[in-house]
């Protein structure tokens, strides 16, 4: 599922000729010897995007698993209280 999500996002960017840049620093200065600096778009590489997507998916899954563990613990505690 994670692989398919990344594939869909990357293919959408490529198909539409879109790019993603760093919001905080969209341009990167490239000094030129003896000339005024030129600027390059500070874009996000596709492998960086894939890594970020993976991190978010893993974080989301961990959060869901933790919620499930908490719910199971609460149910066990409630059953123990009912028996007492």
Please state whether the predicted TM-score (pTM) of the whole model is above 0.75.
no
Check residue 60 and report its DSSP letter: H
What's the pLDDT at 82? 59
> CB neighbours (10 Å) of residue 6?
18
**Max Cα distance, the chain (Å):** 84
Which segments within 3-83 are labelled E, that is strand?
A: 27-32, 35-41
What's the pLDDT at 7? 92
What's the pLDDT at 84? 54
3-state class percentages of the chain: helix first, strand second, coil last, to nearest 5: 60, 20, 20
As averages over each run of 10 residues, the pLDDT of the chain (84 residues) reads 89 94 92 92 92 92 83 63 57
Q: What are phi and psi of 25, to 5 degrees?
A: -150, 75
Distance CA 47, CA 28 (A): 19
């Amino acid at each position: 599922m994670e692989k398919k999500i990344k594939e869909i996002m990357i293919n959408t960017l490529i198909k539409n000729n879109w790019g993603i840049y760093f919001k905080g620093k969209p341009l990167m200065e490239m000094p030129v010897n003896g000339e005024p600096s030129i600027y390059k778009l500070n874009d996000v590489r596709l492998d960086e995007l894939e890594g970020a997507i993976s991190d978010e998916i893993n974080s989301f899954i961990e959060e869901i698993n933790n919620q499930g563990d908490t719910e199971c613990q609460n149910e066990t505690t409630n059953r123990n209280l009912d028996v007492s």
